[in-house]
Amino acid sequence: EAGVAQSPRYKIIEKRQSVAFWCNPISGHATLYWYQQILGQGPKLLIQFQNNGVVDDSQLPKDRFSAERLKGVDSTLKIQPAKLEDSAVYLCASSPQGLAYNEQFFGPGTRLTVL
Amino acid sequence: KNEVEQSPQNLTAQEGEFITINCSYSVGISALHWLQQHPGGGIVSLFMLSSGKKKHGRLIATINIQEKHSSLHITASHPRDSAVYICAVREGGGADGLTFGKGTHLIIQP
């Protein structure tokens, strides 16, 4: 079974530029999560999708971050414009359904550096 | 919002030692996850538990729901166990993304 795919793996941009990340979850997984992991910290949930609907985006900085999952499969996360403090690893995870007893499967992450 | 605390933050031990990593949380949960993260970012789920104890190979995870506390044990530790171990909790309900601790950086020296 193929795992969660993310691209790009690395991205370097200057502040005020825009950037987009892509995630393809495990086939058949209804729930998709985007997490932000700043160096030295645990990941923080940015947004949770159930199919193509948003379940939780309470910690997403909506003035600059946006995410979509139009067909309920793959997803994109965009930052526009980027700030220095957005430098982090952006992790995508998926699970069969967003239920307490379901395991989450993580992608390799995209490491973003904002200069 | 749940607060997840892990201890110790850093741990260096000799090969063969018994390792214990602790996790405490502030609000009742529906499940607790132990995850392993190697340099380069990949995260692998080790355990998911809501009560009692689970064992997989040399790894053992326990949880005490009343005390809001969990432990991860590694028996006969090996240098390949060196990684960051992260505790994460799930509060249940529809919006149930994980809340993570900061992780424990474990180094096992040969």
Which residue in the block uniquely carries the two structure tokens 């390799």?
A108
- B7, B102 Cβ separation under 8 angstroms: no
* Interface residue A44 vs chain B (CB under 8 A): yes
Pairwise CB contact (< 8 Å): B50 & A100 = yes
Smallest Cα distance from B28 to chain A, Å: 13
Pairwise CB contact (< 8 Å): B45 & A98 = no
Cβ neighbors of B108 (< 8 A, separation 6 or more) are B12, B13, B14, B15, B17, B19, B77, B78, B79, B80, B81, B82
| Farthest CA pair distance, chain B | 45
> Residue B87 is which amino acid?
C
What is the mean pLDDT for each group of 10 consecutive residues in chain A (115 residues)? 90 97 94 92 92 90 94 94 96 79 86 96
Least Cα distance to A96 among A19, A17, A26 occurs for A26
pLDDT at B40: 72
Pairwise CB contact (< 8 Å): B30 & A43 = no
Residue B79 C-alpha from the chain's centroid: 18
Task: Provide, as residue numbers in chain B, all residues whose Cβ is less than 8 Å from the Cβ of A98.
Answer: 94, 96
Pairwise CB contact (< 8 Å): A42 & B101 = yes
Give the pLDDT confidence of B60-100 residue by residue, as tens digits.
999 999 999 999 999 999 999 999 999 999 876 655 678 89
pLDDT at A100: 54
* Interface residue A43 vs chain B (CB under 8 A): yes
> Residue A64 is which amino acid?
R
Q: Which helix (H) or strand (E) holds B108?
A: strand B104-109
Mean pLDDT for the stretch of residues B39-59: 89
> Judging by DSSP bridges, how do beta strands B104-109 and A88-95 pair with one another?
unpaired
Nearest neighbour of A48 by CB, restricted to B43, B95, B102: B95
Nearest neighbour of A56 by CB, restricted to B31, B48, B97: B97
CB-defined contacts A:B, below 8 A: 71
- A56, A106 Cβ separation under 8 angstroms: no
